[in-house]
Amino acid sequence: MQSWHRFKDKKASLLIMGLLLFYLDFAHAAYNVAPEIIAEGDQVYCPLTAMPIVTDFDIIDLDDTEIDAFYIQISTGYQRGFDVLSLANSHPTITTSWNNQEGKLTLTGSSGGSMLYLDLIAAVKDVVFESTSESPTEEKFFSFTIGSANYLPETGHYYEYVPQVGITWEDARVAAQNRTYFGLQGYLVTVTSAAEAQITGEQAAGTGWIGGSDAQTEGVWKWMTGPEAGQIFWNGNFTGSSPNFAFWNTNEPNDLNGEDYAHVTAPGVGITGSWNDLPIGGGDGDYQPKGYLVEYGGMPGDPMLNLSASTKITTPKISMASSGMRCGPGTVVLKATATLGQVLWFDSEGNNLGIGESFDTPYLNATTTFYVLATYNGCTTGQKTPVQAEIKILPEINDGVTLTNCDGDGVADGFTNFDLTQYLYLLSPNDQAFNFSFYLTAADAENETNRIAANNFNNSVADQIYFRVQGVGQYCHAIGTVYLDVSTTSFPSGYRYELQTCDIGETDGIAPFDLTDAEADMLAQFPLGNGLSVTFYQTEDDALYKRNEIGNTGMYSNSVPYSDSLFVRVDDEGSGTCFGVGEYLFLTVWPIPSFELESEYSFCTGGQVAVSPYNAEDNYIYSWRNEANNEIGTGTTISISEAGRYNAIATSEEGCKAPPVYFNVTESGPPHLLPEYVLVDDDGDTGTITILHENGELGLGDYEFYLDELYGTKTGTSVFTDVEPGLHTLFAVDNNGCGMDWIQVGVVGVPKFFSPNADGVNDILGIKGITSEFYAEGSFAVFDRYGKLLVQLDPMLHGWTGFYNGRPLPPSDYWYVLELVDHNGALHLKKGHFTLKQ
């Protein structure tokens, strides 16, 4: 029994031991977790120096004593090209690799194997940060993790770039969702802050798709993945806005060809790490998708992990620096504050002048730049901020000037209105360079409050006021006093001065005046030796306020036709004292004489013509002049007996002369009609009569011609056409009433038929239109149809009776030849035929 019990106890013990070992293995397997990373070190960084990034570091791992790789990254505030992480001191078992793109330092075993935790912990404590930037970002976060994904302390999430050229946005979304990282669910990145944009863009290993799209509603961009799914982050196109955060590239999103999906822009295209919109399949070249960005963390059911840690360094910055200014030489108080530590003050040569947020400069004669530096624990490196102590120049003013205006408002009470802006030249020798304002008190002038209306101020309100001269640029301001007084001098009672002139050019009553012609007389109304000046104005207010002075006094044209008046002001410009003001200058424009003459006059030979103006507007004195411009008369009427071109000039009682009015006088005489000046063309059935007269053949007159009927219908012609054969009376009448003449003119013609049957009608074939005034002799021959000469007679004596050799010829057509010789010996030949009827 004892042996059995001993055996049974031994057997039970072995069973219990086996069960205990199984339980321990199961428990170890069930509770095997990733290492826990512990990093400490919120530190202050001194620019341009190297410093460790942790004050303490440890890794707790219940399962292992070594690790293949470890990653340290500048996850926030990274400045590529300036910032770097490196391993200091000797660590023979550790090898490091620096990735400038991601700002990440990778630690691995020196022989390609694993690293002991003890070696790794010692190495991490010797990792130092250094920046060559004099102005590093204010805060930099360092992440420590056992995985290769980038870790962002701000979100506690991990970020990974997955390369896959040409992948579509939808395939990338599915692929990201199928990825995990230490049990964390993956999804296409959603970017909600600048730090997240930097680590997924500028610091990512590549560029690719992110989780934004406006495919559901054009122009409404939402995150379609992760915990932010459904959140709107942009409205509109590239001119739109974000309700939270977005990081679009310039002129993006632009929806070019239906681009509805967000993608990190390729390097070198616009803003580094920014976004652009692409079609779901992407594009070509820089716009071809090269992969996608996965984010891990924040999803329901994700495990709690401690496989990352972070530390931070802070660089002191000058948060505010205010320049100081003073008018004129002296000391200036400058102020500056720091985000951390204290403020050091330096001169331009780098000499430390003081410490503290407020600094009193040395005595300064000119503007000087000082420099401030935020310092902590004695650090004096880094970028200094300039602070300017500005010494402005005091404007030069004339303090205590008295301005004296005339009491010209119609009430002799010693009060009047001043336009103070007209006296600025008395208040400062450089008045054009400054701005002036006026006040009732010196305090108001200093504080620029309660400014008074300078262009209409009455000295009844105050006779002592203050002016502020405000400079620009290098000038500051100055305050002065001005006194207002009213003059007791004036022009003599009833004084007036008149300037008169004649109208010129267009008759409108407007003419130029030389106003300076009145100045001497006006100045003579006041004591000599005062250095007075005269100015002119169109209105009383302008004269009283000394504004809108008439500038071109040598060529001033009145504004009211024919009669105008101006207001005059006499001042001592040196002191601003007014001696007199009022309506004292009167302008009169006399009209130019107006009359009319006929353009043409005539007289008959041996006579004369009387020329008189008409429609004259007044009684004028006339000067009559011939073509040589010699005066030939001065009366209202002149008699002219010689042809030529004349003019008349009228002068008014005021001495105004009209421009010359020109007229022509022609001599006219009776016509002398002679046959040699009358041409007759009678080769046809009818004739044309032409009178030669254009060159004065008939006489000196202007003639009208009539045919057969004296004073019949006027034709205005000297050519008569379609004149029937026969004798006609031609009349020539002088249009100026200087006489007439007439002549008988024949149009030669042979009748078309005659009938010698003794009935008293057309019994004889007579030749029409032959006169001895035109023809000296002639011959008329008749032939039968065979050309036989039947008769030849003198057409100027008689006609043909139709007989041949004493016997009447039978009815038939006969031919004729008519020959006429004029007084010049010229032969006129006319041929034709006629019919003999019974």
Q: pLDDT at residue 31 above 70?
A: no
pLDDT per position as a tens digit, 797-828: 889 999 999 899 999 999 989 898 988 888 88
pLDDT at residue 529 in the model:
58
Rounded average pLDDT over 69-85 = 96
| 188/744: higher pLDDT | 188
Query: Rounded to two decimals, what is the model's pTM?
Result: 0.54
At residue 27 the predicted structure's pLDDT band, cuts being 50, 70 and 90, is very low
Q: Which residue has the tokens 């020329």?
A: 611
Specify which of 20-24, 156-160, 690-694 reaches the highest per-range mean pLDDT: 156-160
Q: pLDDT at residue 21 above 70?
A: no
Q: pLDDT at residue 9 above 90?
A: no
Cβ(149)–Cβ(200) under 8 Å? no
pLDDT at residue 7 in the model:
30
Min mean pLDDT across 220-234, 416-430, 712-726 is at 712-726
pLDDT at residue 410 in the model:
67
Using DSSP's 3-state secondary structure scheme, residue 9 falls into helix
pLDDT at residue 1 in the model:
31
Q: pLDDT at residue 11 above 60?
A: no
Min mean pLDDT across 93-107, 184-198, 538-552, 705-719 is at 705-719
For the chain, the straight-line distance linking the first and the last C-alpha, in angstroms and rounded, comes to: 205
What average pLDDT is seen over the chain?
Answer: 91
pLDDT at residue 608 in the model:
93
Cβ(407)–Cβ(401) under 8 Å? no
Q: pLDDT at residue 461 above 70?
A: yes
Q: What sign for the dihedral angle of Cα 723, 729, 730, 732? A: negative
Output b/e per residue, 586-597; b: 16+ Cβ within 10 A.
ebbbbbbbbbeb
CA angle 661-664-670, nearest 5°?
A: 155
Dist CA 66 CA 470 (whole Å): 76
Q: pLDDT at residue 39 above 80?
A: yes
Two tokens, residue 489:
């001098």
pLDDT at residue 603 in the model:
93
At residue 604 the predicted structure's pLDDT band, cuts being 50, 70 and 90, is very high
pLDDT per position as a tens digit, 647-686: 999 999 999 999 999 999 999 989 999 988 888 888 888 8
At residue 489 the predicted structure's pLDDT band, cuts being 50, 70 and 90, is confident
**What residue ranges in 117-190 does DSSP mark as E strands?**
127-131, 139-145, 150-152, 157-163, 180-181, 184-188
pLDDT per position as a tens digit, 162-177: 999 999 999 999 999 9
Q: pLDDT at residue 12 above 80?
A: no
Q: pLDDT at residue 34 above 80?
A: no
At residue 33 the predicted structure's pLDDT band, cuts being 50, 70 and 90, is low
For residue 315, give the nearest of 343, 345, 337, 340 by alpha carbon: 340
Rounded average pLDDT over 285-302 = 95
At residue 791 the predicted structure's pLDDT band, cuts being 50, 70 and 90, is very high
Q: What sign for the dihedral angle of Cα 107, 109, 112, 113? A: negative
pLDDT at residue 771 in the model:
86
pLDDT per position as a tens digit, 322-357: 999 998 999 999 999 999 999 999 999 999 999 999
The residue type of 695 is N
Dist CA 202 CA 205 (whole Å): 9
Q: pLDDT at residue 25 above 70?
A: no
The residue type of 411 is V
pLDDT at residue 424 in the model:
93
Paired with 420 in beta bridges are none
Residue 545 dihedral angles phi and psi, to the nearest 5°? -90, -5
Paired with 436 in beta bridges are 469
The residue type of 244 is N
The helices-and-strands tally (H runs, E runs) of the chain is 8, 63
Q: pLDDT at residue 26 above 60?
A: no
Q: pLDDT at residue 96 above 70?
A: yes
Cβ(665)–Cβ(642) under 8 Å? yes
